[in-house]
Every structure is written in C-alpha cells, then in structure tokens.
Structure 1
Amino acid sequence: MAVRVGVLGATGAVGQRLIQLLDPHPKFELAALTASDSSAGKTYRQAAKWRVDSPIPADVAEMTVQATEPDAIPNDIDLLFSSLPSSVGAAVEPGFCEAGYVVSSNSSNGRMDDDVPLVIPEINAEHLDLLEVQRDERGWDGALIKNPNCSTITFVPTLAALTEFGLEKVHVSTLQAVSGAGYDGVSSMEIIDNAIPYIGSEEDKLETESRKLLGEFDGASLTHNDVAVSASCNRIPTIDGHLENVWVETEAELDAAAAAEAMEAFPSLDLHSSPDPLIHVFDEPDRPQPRMDRTVGGGMAIAAGGMQETPFGLQYNCLAHNTIRGAAGASVLNGELLAENGYL
C-alpha cells in the first residue's frame, strides 16, 4: 500500500523539486499540497510558476492547493515534506506535529535542537531513534526530522568515510550555486562576472551541523563529534551543484590512495533514493565539476576527486546537486527511512 504524502510550501523552488521526485515515486502517493494564503484554493498550475527542468506532472497540475495549516490537510496523510522558509517552518511545523503528522523537513529551523534528529540516512540512520525522546519530551503524536543544509550534505559523507582515521581538523571552502539562494536570492547584476565570498549563516551551518551528524546517540541523548571544523562559503555563477574544497587532518596517517579507497567502499543503503555507490570517486585531477558531475547517481550521489597530500593534511574536492541531494532528495530519502523504520 502506498504511503500518502503531502508537501508544505509546494510552490517554491524546493517544493517543485519535491513534486518532481515524489510524483513517480513507487512507494509514495502525493495527495496534498500547501502554499501561502494567496495560493490556497487555486489549482497547482495556477499557483506555481513552474521552473523545474521537466514538465509539471499533469495530475499534480490540477490538484487544489490548500492553506498551510493542519486543519486543511486530510487526516489520512501519513507523511508531510516541508520546504517552507525557515521563519514559516518555525511557526507552523510544531503545530503539524502536535496534530499527529510526521514531518520530514528541509527548513533550517530546529536542526540543532537537542531532540530533533538531523539525518543523512547513509551516515547516521541510528539518530532517527531520537524521535522517541522527542515524542516523550514534547508530547507529540507526530514527529519532526530534519535534513541538513545543502552545503553540509556535500562534504559530511566524505568525512564519514574517513572517520576510521580519526578526524581532528577539517577546513572547507565552498563554491555554491545560485539556486541555493532560491530563484530570487541573487540578482544577475550581483553574480554574473563575479563571486561573492560570503553567504549569511552558511559557515555556522557547516561547522555545527557536521559535528551533530557525526555524533553518537546513546539512546537518550546525542553527543556531538569533537572534530574542529572551519568553513568559508562563496557564491559563484553556476546554476546547480555545490563544489567544495576540503582539507582534513587525521590522527592516523592518511594518504590519497587510502582516502579514495575508503570513500569508494563507504556503504549505501537499500532505500529507493539512496545511490550505489554513495560516493563516486574520480581519478581525474580536474573532477568533479558542477556542469559535468552534479547529476551523478541521479543527482543523489556525492562526487569526490582531486585527492592529494599537503602540509595541511589530505586535500580533496567534493560535489553534490544542491537542490536534489542537498534539499528535496534528502527530505524524500529521510521519508523513506521513516517508513522503513515504522515511524509512519
């Protein structure tokens, strides 16, 4: 039996990507869409300015958009995917959870809350059990799970593959695509023939979310990993695909060949949206590249390459499609993990 799902914030860029991924999904049935009050009551075709690189699904186009409130959602929905702006998510997501809905959210609000699991399924699926603590503490029948920031998702899987060498220090410099800022986020006059060496709050997200993702859950509380992470974030004029330069210092000796082997061997999961391999390692020194490699693994894999030893530790590059693996696809994958583990 298909899992009936809905999308909160369905008309935005990530909401549209969610619809693109959910409409053909073999286990999820898209049954509800919400947006702002100005869109409620319209068909989705009328409400959304469709910008995804495939046609709007015909059945979705004629669905009626609902208001983003629990009373507007059918009570037979098993799972909600949230792509709301963080300020809106902070205001309304708890109300859906109180009403009994399970929410897999891409919004940044609440990611660092002690009782909210921040999950990349292939990396820390065991953190999902933090939902038991969440339900006990908050008295919710529903639940809230978060996926990390798109830039965090890009490099943390590569770090997870290297934990056996004892992570001590990580430095990361990001080259982030304009789609990460949303359709209206960066004007053409700002970004064409330019690079912007600052993205508000992004550095903090990489530095804190990574340590939570790599932390240990003992069944009652989560201890963050003590690796030191320093980030510098840059916006560049590519459409999709966050490219990141990473330097890693480890307790044990780590050379390029051993790092490549560890990343190539890092296991994936038997979930519909999880790619195999999770990390695609390139031998070529000039790969990965956003235009060439952002859709590796259907846009759900991490690409890595350019590995070399330096005086500052192992250096390598990694890349992920920021609106697929880094946003909508990450939420869908978390939904699959929730279903697999009986949380719906």
Structure 2
Amino acid sequence: MSDPTLRVGILGATGAVGQTFVRRLADHPWFSIHTLAASERSAGKPYREAANWLSSRPMPDAVTDMEVVPCTPNAVEADLVFSGLDSAVAGEIEADFAHAGFPVISNAKNYRMDPTVPLLIPEINPEHAALIDEQSWENGGFIVTNPNCSTVGLVCALRPLVEAFTVEAVQVTMLQALSGAGYPGVASLDALGNVIPYIGGEEDKLDEEPRKILGTYENGAIKEAKLAVSAQCNRVPVRNGHLACASVRFSEKISPEAAEEALRTYTSPVDVSALPSAPDRLVSVDSAPDAPQPRKHVYAGNGMTVTVGRIQACTVNHVKFVALSHNTIRGAAGGAILNAEQLVHEGRIQPVAA
C-alpha cells in the first residue's frame, strides 16, 4: 500500500497529543488527514485559530484552514480515527465512534485494561490484535490502544529479556518529561529547578500494563505475564523523554553481558519493515558510560527507538539498566500511528468504500 487512500480523523486534534498526530500524519504515505475534531468551543473554527500550536515547526499548510468539527460520529468522515482525547471524556466518545463502526486507535487510558481491547506494540505483541474479534461494538467498529507513555520504554527494554530469560520482578524509577503532563501541564514555578516525586496514576499503570502487554494470547484472551513491577514516578524539568532506571531479577543469575546480547539481537515477532513509522530497530544499545540522555538520544529512530544503556550487574537484583523513550512519539501519537499501520497491513482496517 503506497497511496494515501485511507482518510483519518483526529479526535482531540487541538491538544498536545492531537497536534503530534497532525504533525506526524501531515506527510504520511498511507493516511490522509480528512477531519479534525475537538470540543464544542473549538468546533466551527479553522484549525489555525482553534489550536494553540505548540511545535517549533510551522503548522502543516494542509490543515491550517480545515474547519474543526465536534467529536461526534455524524460529524466525522473517515476510514479510521485517532484519539488524542483526555481520559476525562475519551471513554464515552470513543465508545460512540466504535458503535458507529469506526476503527478507533486510542492514546487514552480508558480501555487499555479492558480484556477485549489490545494494548498493542507491534514489535512486541502483534498477536494481541486478535482481541479485536472478541469486541462487540456495532457495525464492525473496534478500539485498539497503545500503552501509557511511562510504560512504553520500560516494556520495550524488558521484552528482549523476557523472551531470552525468565524475569521475575522489576524495580523501576521513572524520570518523566514535562510534555507527558500535556499543555499547560506543570506550572513553571513547580517544575524549574525541581523534581516532583508524584504523578497521579502512573505507578498503577506501570504495575498493570506490562503484565498485559507481555502476556500471551490464548483462546480469545490474554494470559498475563507473571511479573512483579515496583515503580516510583518523578516529574523532571526535561521537555521530552522518559528515563526508566530499572533493576531486574531473573529466575537465575544473568550477567550484564548476556542481558546486553539479548537486547542487541532482539527481533520483532513480525516483520514491520513495511510500516512507514517503524524504526530500523525497536531497541538500540549505547555503551557510552553516560548514555542514554534525552538531549542526545530521544529522537533515535525518528523518536520511535528506545535507547538502552548503563547495563550493569545489580547488587540487589541481577541486572540494572537505563532506558530512554520519546514519550509523545513512541509513547503516544507515534505508537498509535504504528498500531494503525500494522492493522492496515493485516487487513483489519480498509477504506470504507471497499
């Protein structure tokens, strides 16, 4: 598939995640932005007036004069919709679109732990897409979610280790960028020169989501991985990039060299090379003693590669490392777009006219 034959709608198009969808879809070879939807206060305005554009890059010309419509199915013409909606409203709106027959590719948390909804990362658990067949929305609609931005980097680094060895427990300290709080996000006087050791709900997500993502698909359901995760989440004064400082316990002693080899040689269970948003490698290992750093590594693989470094023996568990992911690209809009590409590749999303 090479022509932009699939029309996409973006729900919550004026918000921070919605704007990332707009930027990354503006020149997409498979998808064409057809509808921008947002709250009633934005509806009826041209996008250039409705959106407080946050990027240093100019707003794409194709969307500046596009009229924003309400987030209702009858106002949206599209073959699929991406949801950048806030969780406070996403649940009901996404359900309305699924009932109306739309494939909904969501970045919101509302349906992530629903037993019939895939919590998808194509290079890790593509078989979980089969959960779509267990959903009961009308008219062929469905919902697929991507993980929380704090979960993504950790899980991408854990997957090679889970595949090669038996992982029993993970202790992780998250250093999370300001952009993860959305816009306007954390007040400047709280953020500057400071670290906030609390992000509501994040530690619970890190406890729950990895077990589902790393679980196995069996008989129409996910059998969760037996994995204990203890997480502490901190907001730090960095614009983009979540750092996961992780310590891993295995069922038997594993050397840092063995863990590094597993990370370096990991390959996806499916070939994702045909997907436009897929990086050359899901995980990149950097052996520099001070890597990874958000300033240097966050845009690896166009923001879709997770960089792992500081792989060492741990005196408490077995191996410790640091993983860096771009929270608004791989951890949000970019990950959702990759999910849609994989579903198109599998034939689960097709033009409505077809």
> Smaller-chain TM-score range?
over 0.9
Deviations 1:54-111 (A, max 9, x none): 110011111111100001012xx11100000012111210110000000000011111
Aligned residues: 340
User: Match for 1:329 among 334, 337, 349?
Assistant: 334
The answer for unaligned runs of 5 or more in structure 2 is 350-354
* Residue in structure 2 matched with residue 284 of structure 1 by the alignment: 288
User: Match for 2:42 among 39, 43, 61?
Assistant: 39
| 1:108-147 map, 5 Å | 108-135=109-136, 138-139=137-138, 141-147=140-146
User: Are the counterparts in 2 of residues 263 and 281 from structure 1 also a CA contact under 8 Å?
Assistant: yes
| 1:5-24 map, 5 Å | 5-24=8-27
Deviations 1:296-327 (A, max 9, x none): 11110000000100122200000001111110
* Residue in structure 1 matched with residue 325 of structure 2 by the alignment: 320
User: Are the counterparts in 2 of residues 130 and 219 from structure 1 also a CA contact under 8 Å?
Assistant: no
**Cα distance in 2, alignment partners of residues 286 and 219 from structure 1:** 45
**Cα distance in 2, alignment partners of residues 176 and 110 from structure 1:** 23
1:298 equivalent to 2:299? Answer: no
User: Are the counterparts in 2 of residues 264 and 277 from structure 1 also a CA contact under 8 Å?
Assistant: no
> Helix, strand or coil for the counterpart of 1:183?
coil
* Residue in structure 1 matched with residue 256 of structure 2 by the alignment: 256
**Cα distance in 2, alignment partners of residues 323 and 54 from structure 1:** 15
- Percent pairwise identity: 46
1:89 equivalent to 2:94? Answer: no
1:247 equivalent to 2:252? Answer: no
| Cα drift, residue 139 of structure 1 | 4.3
Letter in 1 for 2:304: M
**Cα distance in 1, alignment partners of residues 282 and 29 from structure 2:** 21
TM-score (norm 1): 0.97
> Helix, strand or coil for the counterpart of 1:122?
coil
Question: Structure 1 residues 187, 224: closer, same or farther in 2, change over 3 A?
Answer: same
**Cα distance in 1, alignment partners of residues 281 and 257 from structure 2:** 18
Give structure 1 regions of 4+ aligned residues with deviation exceeding 3 angstroms: none
| Cα drift, residue 253 of structure 1 | 3.0
> Helix, strand or coil for the counterpart of 1:233?
strand
| Cα drift, residue 185 of structure 1 | 1.6
> Helix, strand or coil for the counterpart of 1:173?
strand
| Cα drift, residue 274 of structure 1 | 1.2
* Residue in structure 2 matched with residue 192 of structure 1 by the alignment: 192
Letter in 1 for 2:345: E
Letter in 1 for 2:307: A
The answer for unaligned runs of 5 or more in structure 1 is none
**Cα distance in 2, alignment partners of residues 187 and 244 from structure 1:** 23
Letter in 1 for 2:330: R
Choose 267-276 or 214-223, whichever is displaced more.
267-276
User: Are the counterparts in 1 of residues 100 and 138 from structure 2 also a CA contact under 8 Å?
Assistant: no
**Cα distance in 2, alignment partners of residues 278 and 220 from structure 1:** 27
**Cα distance in 2, alignment partners of residues 130 and 340 from structure 1:** 16
* Residue in structure 2 matched with residue 338 of structure 1 by the alignment: 343
Alignment RMSD: 1.0
> Helix, strand or coil for the counterpart of 1:307?
strand
> Helix, strand or coil for the counterpart of 1:297?
helix
User: Match for 1:274 among 264, 271, 278?
Assistant: 278
> Helix, strand or coil for the counterpart of 1:123?
coil
| Cα drift, residue 140 of structure 1 | 5.1
**Cα distance in 2, alignment partners of residues 53 and 229 from structure 1:** 37
User: Are the counterparts in 2 of residues 123 and 160 from structure 1 also a CA contact under 8 Å?
Assistant: yes
| Cα drift, residue 289 of structure 1 | 0.5
User: Are the counterparts in 1 of residues 130 and 220 from structure 2 also a CA contact under 8 Å?
Assistant: no
TM-score (norm 2): 0.94
Question: Structure 1 residues 6, 178: closer, same or farther in 2, change over 3 A?
Answer: same
Letter in 1 for 2:331: G
**Cα distance in 2, alignment partners of residues 48 and 333 from structure 1:** 24
